[in-house]
């Protein structure tokens, strides 16, 4: 009997790939692993994974339907050069864009924008609130991601915790979620989810098993929607001690967590 098609949907930043700043989660280390650069922007290396992880990802790409699943915009995602087969599907902008062979699927985008119009406060209202309340002392940039959500680039050490909590409550009452990841603070509509896009890819591929991994609050719905999930020992979910029955909390942090997650994916694919 043939094994079911396995779909592997994984967050990228701080799950499989790591910026120089995020490498500090496992560095310094006299026996630091050898790294492979997987993203260059404006002639500067930005993101890395270990060489071991690169080999595991190549193996995974041959064994399953691997779907990069990220809050990055399409343009930001397309800067990444992952090892292994080029994924047929990719989920960008936190589920707002479904790429098929690198091209946005217009039908999916229409579904998403329809949900946003019906189920949460408009983007303009959130933008205006952030503009009124964010302090230039710690705010560096405010950006809109493909007319779907907004994020701030902040000086993390100057960002008041109380302001973040107040924003989270304000956003919750309007159907939005706030997530703080490194130097970026995201405000994302609740209907805009990675899990919905993953389910759509599973439907199109006929996947009988779904596996997922992620580290942030914006990955929680993805992990809950998958048959099995993993979260690393760092990030928003680890800090909150977030847990779910089918989600394994790993002890590894940083790039070594990326390796462990890929090993768990491969084990899940083999077990079917």
pLDDT tens sequence across 118-146 = 999 999 999 999 999 999 999 999 999 99
Distances (CA, A) of 29 to 24, 33, 48, 236: 9, 9, 16, 24
Of the two residues 23 and 149, the one the predictor is more confident about is 149
256 vs 29, higher pLDDT = 256
Which residues are paired to 231 by β-bridges? Answer: 249
Q: Are 125 and 214 in contact (CB under 8 A)?
A: no
Within 10 angstroms of residue 79's Cβ, the number of other Cβ atoms is 14
The pLDDT tens digits of the residues spanning 253-268 come to 999 999 999 999 999 9
| pTM exceeds 0.85 | yes
Structural domains in the chain plus CATH codes: 4-111+192-269 (3.40.50.1000), 120-187 (3.30.1360)
Among 11-15, 27-31, 79-83, 170-174, the minimum mean pLDDT is found in 27-31
Q: Which of 17-26, 72-81, 213-222 has the lowest mean pLDDT?
A: 17-26
CA-to-CA dists, residue 54 to 48, 168, 181, angstroms: 10, 36, 24
Residue 23's pLDDT band (cuts 50, 70, 90): confident
Q: Can you read off the two tokens belonging to residue 44?
A: 């500067």
Express each pLDDT in 85-125 by its tens digit: 999 999 999 999 999 999 999 999 999 999 999 999 999 99
């Amino acid at each position: 009997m043939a094994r079911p098609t396995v779909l592997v949907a994984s967050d990228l930043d701080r799950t499989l790939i790591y910026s120089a700043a995020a490498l500090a989660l496992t560095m310094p280390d006299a026996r630091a692993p050898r790294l492979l650069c997987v993203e260059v922007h404006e002639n500067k290396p930005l993101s890395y994974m270990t060489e071991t992880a690169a080999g595991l990802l190549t193996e995974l790409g041959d064994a399953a339907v691997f779907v990069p699943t990220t809050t990055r915009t399409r343009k930001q995602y397309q800067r990444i050069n992952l090892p292994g087969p080029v994924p047929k599907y990719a989920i960008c902008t936190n589920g707002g864009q479904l790429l098929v062979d690198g091209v946005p699927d217009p039908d999916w985008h229409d579904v998403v924008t329809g949900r946003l119009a019906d189920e949460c406060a408009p983007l303009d209202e959130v933008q205006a609130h952030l503009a009124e309340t964010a302090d230039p002392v710690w705010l560096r940039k405010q950006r809109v991601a493909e007319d779907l959500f907004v994020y701030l680039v902040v000086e993390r050490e100057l960002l008041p915790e109380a302001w973040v909590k107040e924003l989270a409550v304000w956003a919750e009452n309007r159907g939005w979620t706030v997530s703080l990841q490194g130097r970026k603070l995201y405000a994302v509509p609740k209907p805009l989810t990675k899990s919905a896009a993953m389910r759509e890819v599973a439907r199109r591929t006929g996947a009988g098993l779904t596996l997922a991994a992620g580290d942030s609050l914006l990955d929680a719905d993805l992990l809950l929607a998958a048959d099995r999930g993993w979260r690393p020992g760092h990030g928003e979910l680890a800090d909150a001690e977030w847990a779910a029955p089918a989600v394994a909390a790993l002890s590894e942090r940083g790039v070594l967590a990326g390796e462990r997650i890929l090993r768990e994916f491969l084990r899940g694919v083999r077990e079917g």
